[in-house]
Amino acid sequence: MLIGNQNYLAALQVTSLLIEQIKQHQKENPEIIKIRKGVEEGRIKEFQIQKHVLWYKNRLCVPNVLGLKKELFRETHNSALTTHPGSTKMCYDL
């Protein structure tokens, strides 16, 4: 119950630990290390680094690690943070 002229502002940010795992694997992947170097030197423009994570346009660069990919598909498909609007949309989002 609000009394008087009080204002409240609240924000909720939900994040996944999966991005931290992807970031760690990016640091160990030779191909991604090479791309990151090109981005940092200004030679590669298609990619960008945001919060120490490599992105291609608006897509996260996921290293080719089987366990990591399985976890990504599992979270995308079953997570409480996502909805399942249909397989076509889900695959496009991935």
Q: Dump pLDDT digits (tens) for 64-87.
A: 999 998 988 887 777 655 555 555
Domain assignment present for residue 41? The answer is yes
Angle, vertex CA 37, rays to CA 35 and CA 39, nearest 5: 70
**pLDDT score recorded for residue 39:** 96
**End-to-end CA distance of the chain, in Å?**
42
DSSP 3-state of 89: helix
Question: How much is the mean pLDDT over the chain?
Answer: 81
Question: Tell me, what's the pLDDT at 80?
Answer: 59
Partners of 47 in the β-ladder: 56
Contact between 84 and 90 under an 8 Å Cβ cutoff? The reply is: yes
Whether 46 maps to a domain, the answer reads: yes
Q: Is residue 6 part of a domain?
A: no
Q: Maximum CA pair distance of the chain? A: 60
pLDDT value at position 49? 95
60, part of any domain: yes
Question: Does the structure show a pLDDT above 80 at 5?
Answer: no
pTM above 0.85, yes or no: no
Determine, yes or no, domain membership for 76.
yes
Q: Let me know how long the chain is.
A: 94
Per the structure, the count of domains in the chain is: 1
Q: What is the mean pLDDT of residues 44-72?
A: 92
Range of the domain at 54: 17-93
User: Under a CB-based contact definition with an 8 Å cutoff, are residues 71 and 18 in contact?
Assistant: yes
How far apart (Å, rounded) are the C-alpha atoms in residues 81 and 87?
A: 17
Residue 7 falls inside a structural domain: no
Does residue 89 lie within any of the structural domains? yes
pLDDT class of 18 with cuts at 50, 70, 90 = confident
- Residue 8 within a domain: no
pLDDT at 75: 79
